[in-house]
């Protein structure tokens, strides 16, 4: 059943406008949202991007769209399953749409110049996420990028996304990235096969990435490493597991486990 506009009130006081999308359904299995997935719109025109998310012909949607000037539009109620993640996985979950809230940030993306995210937009994103956290128990390591849950397909919201600023406001997982250095340590590249590659894959899987622990540094592993770098080590995104990447991954796992409230980490090995 598609909700009518008259039946749809915004979930948050930070929402400036409701523009209902017909593209949504029931959260499967009675799932409650325990993830936030960040996207960028990836279109030149943000108004056209919003229309696309609300078009019955597009088969895509998101719960929220944050415009460049900080104007927040809600398109799908949080109680409903929006169609934003596609084929994806995180911490063993494969129906990300059923367990997540999708936020689209108006930005043309990598194909159209990929500008910085404006300060007013970042402030609005923070306010929206903090509002969501008052209604849903969402662990820090389950505030993720579209590229995290679909690393072989997606780059958004990309390496310019202000993850550190969100973390400073109590949203998401972050540590200061380890310095990039050319000296010392093992570096893994495409085609390598080594027990230490399996250790790296296992660590990425512990964080949540859907990756096989084969011990071979294949194209899937390279895509996951690039996704990790976009989120957590954005100064250099090349898919190569250098010393900085591995050290940053280790620091993130140490910061996450154990959680101070004793909550077990979902999907942890």
Per-residue model confidence as pLDDT tens digits over 187-234: 999 999 999 999 999 999 999 999 999 999 999 999 999 999 999 999
State the pLDDT at residue 148: 98
**Residue 16 burial (10 A CB sphere; 0-12, 13-18, 19+):** middle
| CA–CA separation, 160 and 124 (whole Å) | 16
Domain with CATH 3.40.80.10 in the chain: 5-168
Q: What is the pLDDT of residues 155-173, one digit of tens each?
A: 999 999 999 999 999 999 9
**Residue 157 burial (10 A CB sphere; 0-12, 13-18, 19+):** buried
Using the predicted structure, report yes or no on whether residue 247 has a pLDDT greater than 50.
yes
Percent with pLDDT over 70 in the chain: 92
Domain with CATH 1.10.101.10 in the chain: 175-269
| Strand bridging mode 72-74 / 17-18 | parallel
C-alpha distances in angstroms, 66 versus 71, 103, 161, 168, 251? 6, 7, 13, 20, 31
CATH 3.40.80.10 assigned to domain 5-168? The reply is yes
Q: What share of the chain is helix, strand, coil (3-state, %, to 5)?
A: 35, 10, 55
State the pLDDT at residue 262: 38
CATH number (1.10.3470.10, 1.10.150.650, 1.10.101.10, 3.40.50.620) of 175-269 reads 1.10.101.10
Over range 234-255, report the average pLDDT: 96
Using the predicted structure, report yes or no on whether residue 67 has a pLDDT greater than 90.
yes
| CA–CA separation, 207 and 241 (whole Å) | 16
Over range 251-266, report the average pLDDT: 64
On whether the CB atoms of residues 124 and 169 are closer than 8 A, the answer is no
Q: Which of 61-75, 165-179, 249-263 has the lowest mean pLDDT?
A: 249-263
Q: What is the mean pLDDT of the chain?
A: 92
The catalytic residues are: 104
Using the predicted structure, report yes or no on whether residue 84 has a pLDDT greater than 60.
yes
Higher-pLDDT residue of 82 and 4 is 82
Angle, CA of 32, 266 and 28, to the nearest 5°: 30
């Amino acid at each position: 059943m598609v909700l009518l506009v008259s039946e749809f009130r915004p979930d948050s006081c930070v929402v400036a406008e409701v523009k209902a999308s017909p593209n949504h359904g029931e959260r499967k299995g009675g799932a409650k949202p325990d993830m936030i997935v960040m996207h960028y719109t990836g279109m030149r025109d943000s108004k056209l991007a919003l229309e696309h998310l609300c078009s019955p012909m597009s088969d895509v949607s998101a719960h929220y769209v944050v415009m460049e000037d900080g104007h927040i539009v809600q398109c799908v109620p949080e109680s409903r399953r929006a169609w934003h993640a596609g084929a994806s996985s995180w911490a063993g979950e494969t129906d990300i749409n059923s367990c997540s809230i999708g936020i689209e940030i108006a930005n043309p993306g990598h194909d159209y110049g990929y500008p910085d995210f404006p300060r007013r937009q970042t402030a609005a994103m923070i306010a929206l996420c903090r509002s969501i956290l008052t209604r849903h128990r969402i662990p820090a390591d389950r505030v993720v990028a579209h590229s995290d849950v679909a690393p072989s397909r997606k780059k958004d919201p990309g390496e310019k996304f202000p993850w550190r600023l969100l973390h400073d406001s109590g949203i998401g997982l972050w540590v200061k990235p380890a310095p990039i250095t050319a000296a010392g340590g093992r570096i893994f590249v495409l085609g390598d096969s080594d027990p230490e590659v399996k250790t790296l894959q296992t660590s990425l899987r512990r964080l949540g990435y859907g990756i096989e622990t084969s011990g071979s540094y294949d194209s899937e592993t390279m895509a996951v490493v690039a996704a990790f770098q976009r989120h957590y080590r954005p100064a250099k995104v090349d898919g190569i597991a250098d010393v900085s990447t591995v050290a940053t991954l280790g620091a993130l796992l140490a910061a996450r486990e154990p959680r101070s409230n004793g909550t077990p980490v979902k999907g942890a090995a």
